[in-house]
Chains A and B, each alone.
Chain A
């Protein structure tokens, strides 16, 4: 047994629901006890679906257990078929029905319905949501496109001259993080390349569309977590190659365009010409200078985490200090990416482990899921969401793709927004005695705090009275402490949202060790501008702790400075 409070992924049958709900003309009969319908809420509330998911639950209860449940399942299938008249039917079991061992596939096939029936075997005690979605999509593709597979050894017929190249877009589902807008963005890119989209699936596809998948020249795999398995089968069966690059970020989108152009036999130059995205210029503009070397921790599904790390490092000039995923199926890819940034890969589905890692790394920005948003809020670190699982606010009304050149613009704004804007950081330095600018001020664009978070740098502003203020600090003294050391958190503790958390405010970080500061050392510390003073204080204290010192003197302060400015 595994003790769990938070789970990054739902059970695999929810993955199957995501595929069924994404499609048209498909119905899913799920052998499940009363209560499993809670999953409908994910679609109707988080994604604000206007229709109920096309799922019928058998809703067995205790009194049905025994021979009754198989009969109940058959009745449910018959009634669902009569009522909804789908063009294809998915059947399967949820975790509880898996234990009672009725055979949904066999029972449904025995009914002899005049439509394709796709039995789903989703082992609920070993696998999770994304695997369930991938398996479901693969089974649907095999069942519905299978009849069109040419005999082994056949050659793909060459495209007729004058025929535009055609591709399928594979992977977008219901409840997918930004899938709606990604599809729109990527379709536009393909269109500009002169490539026609044959079928988008599962999102918006009917069983008839799935049957036509083999007619395309190649496949664009948007989300490997969901479409990789189906794309492999299509390659084996129809000789369709598929894209390997996921177009998230400016660089990746450029690579993607080149890759697609090669598969389609077209020229990528017109699409790449000019300035297809504002993000590169924004990153080069002087206001972004302050982003240089900001320490960022990245966690999410493998696809989004790997893409975000590349953007952070190559397109924003951050330093990636941690990279991880909960997608165990993509551990190899994640490890390879982590090696590129020289960081320890973190592959776990235990949020406490992620939280510990974040706390230990002291990043200045966290890119993660809804879960990391809460963790970062607790730790007082800025954060942006880059991956599912997400809450309702990450299914926005406005167009906000992650993919393509517009996606790159969205991501620039998303990553930078939680951070102090460069100019604001500068003003803070200039007017640091101004009543509105002080160490605890949140960025002005993020509204006010619910409650001022507790900080390691305890003395309030009153302690920084002009009387106690020393002359302007030596520039190199500042520089040494501003330079990223072994990872102090930026001192401006920013709450990600202006809403206080459910427990009435951010959680206090662990108390500092019982270290004493000699009065003259404390005074020296106060010569450092307040907005990096906390950082300097923590660096010095950690330095002293590591060496078993109990009293921090002026010498300790400068020893620490020397140590960190290596």
Chain B
């Protein structure tokens, strides 16, 4: 037992709660969308999608104006001649990659990213990556992962990408001192805050994954303790555990409670004493609570409905319910990983309606019937629901905005409060 971790509620929240599992039309992004933030994070990597014009168009629509900032991603658009024979498609891919590497000599790591069309025609990108790696070694490493819609939903693209990096991580020697590995792409400002926090706690050996540069992969081994910063990293965590690392069970660092619990799990694993933990964490937690209080006034008692999008829904719902005093109508998630979400589910108010997967029209029926005060959903649904008189918060922003940790807790709350404040201001 640990003196540091926040008191667990007596009831087990939603640990054993039933989940409505739905199949049908899904209004979600595919994993390719992850490229939009991953290419900003790993600064010497290039992402080449092998797909159709649809894939290129999706990236362009998702990347907005970023497309013009010499982005480090592109699409090799499959044409009719490529569909004629497989050998030909591989030759074409080699040609495109060669041209790309000639044009962009700064690339150190190239990801070949699979799409629905490439998967359906069974174009073996992992073999292509091996073949091309041999050709371009040692200058450029070439890896592959799938961001296809048939395999991945939105943030699962990041999971697939990080999973592809795991085999290249160096071995940690068995004699090494225990180290902490924070897994999941975080905003740099958040990463820096956590670095300072861990230093104050006295946890010396901390690395973040993904790293900012591809040749700076952290080591992993039996002495590695993993803290997942994001809830959508099932495959990455599995592969790290296969390398001997131990995942620390914790809630996710969203809100004061989530961040405290998350840091607490690390402190416990590294035998940090309670006084030291309190000295580092309490002032920050207090500051965050004070900032949150102002947002809580606007949100307490309001009902909220989550459409599935990123797998962040369960931690966000826990934060909304426990720290903002909101009422959970339904918490939808594209995929519910019971193991990774155990601490979160325990903290959710008992009786919360949980759903996994989606049949969008039926879910819209439920949402309309409930008329929640705030609906968290994608941009395909937001304006139509607003036109029906429902306030919405578009969910993608929660991926692109720094929301983790103490200093961002109030910003996260403000994201929920803003649509409601706006509605109260408009007089027309």
Are the chains A and B members of one assembly?
Answer: yes
Q: Using CB atoms and an 8 Å cutoff, list the residues of chain A in contact with chain B.
A: 1-7, 9-11, 13-14, 33-42, 44-45, 48-52, 56-62, 64-65, 76, 79, 83, 94-96, 99-100, 123-126, 128, 374-375, 378, 391, 501-503
Contact A125 B78 (CB under 8 A): yes
- Which of the residues A2, A83, A99 comes within 8 Å of B79, measured between beta carbons? A2
B68 touches A51 (CB 8 A): no
Encode B376-412 as 1/0 by CB contact (under 8 A) with A.
0011111110010000000000000000000000000
A76 proximity list for chain B (CB < 8 A): 25
**Is B415 interfacial (CB 8 A cutoff)?**
no
Are the CB atoms of A56 and B380 closer together than 8 Å? no
| A-B contact list, 10 entries, CB within 8 Å | A2-B77, A4-B53, A5-B67, A35-B148, A37-B26, A44-B381, A79-B361, A99-B121, A124-B52, A125-B52
Q: Which of under 10, 10 to 19, 20 to 34, or 35 or more describes the interface residues of B?
A: 35 or more
Question: Whole-angstrom distance between the alpha carbons of A467 and B9 in the complex?
Answer: 80
Question: Which residues on A sit within 8 Å (CB–CB) of B60?
Answer: 5-7
The answer to whether A95 and B387 touch across the interface, beta carbons within 8 angstroms, is no
Contact of A7 among B24, B25, B57, B96 (CB under 8 A): B57
Contacts of B382 in A (CB 8 A): 44
B97 to chain A, nearest CB (A): 9
Tell whether A62 pairs with B151 under 8 Å between CB atoms, given A7-B53, A41-B61: yes
| Contact call B80/A40, Cβ cutoff below 8 A | no
Evaluate whether A502 and B66 lie within 8 angstroms (CB atoms) in the complex, with A7-B56, A49-B383 already known.
Answer: yes
New A-B pairs, 12, CB < 8 Å, besides A39-B57, A50-B384? A1-B95, A3-B96, A33-B148, A34-B30, A35-B30, A37-B380, A38-B30, A44-B380, A62-B148, A123-B80, A125-B83, A391-B65
> Could you say which of B112-120, B240-248, B313-321, B336-344 contacts chain A?
B112-120
**Secondary structure call for the B interface:** helix
Whether B149 and A44, one on each chain, are in contact in the complex, defined by CB atoms closer than 8 angstroms, is no
Question: Nearest A residue to B53 by beta-carbon distance?
Answer: A11
A34-B150, A124-B52, A374-B65 given as contacts; is B76 within 8 A of A2 (CB)?
A: yes
Residue numbers of B with Cβ under 8 A of A are: 24-33, 50, 52-54, 56-58, 60-62, 65-71, 73-80, 82-83, 89, 92-93, 95-96, 99-100, 116-117, 119-121, 148-151, 153, 361, 378-384, 387
**Chain B: CB-nearest residue to A55:** B25
With the chains together, A126 CA to B81 CA distance in Å? 10
Known: A44-B379, A501-B65. A1 touches B116 (CB 8 A): no
Q: How far is the CB of B72 from chain A (nearest CB, A)?
A: 10
Q: Could you tell me the distance in whole angstroms from the C-beta of A380 to the nearest C-beta in chain B? A: 14
List A contacts of B80 (CB < 8 A).
123, 125-126
**A99 engages B117 (CB within 8 Å):** yes
A79 contact set on B, CB distance < 8 A: 24, 361
| Residues in A neighbouring B121, C-beta threshold 8 A | 99
Most central of A34, A48, A51, A99 by chain B CB within 10 Å: A34
Given A58-B25, A100-B120, residue A34 in contact with residue B57 (CB < 8 A):
no
Q: Bound complex: CA of A14 vs CA of B56, how far in Å?
A: 13
Contacts of A391 in B (CB 8 A): 65
**Chain A residues within an 8 Å CB radius of B89:** 1
Q: Is the CB of B57 within 8 A of A10?
A: yes
A37 to B29 alpha-carbon distance, docked (Å): 7
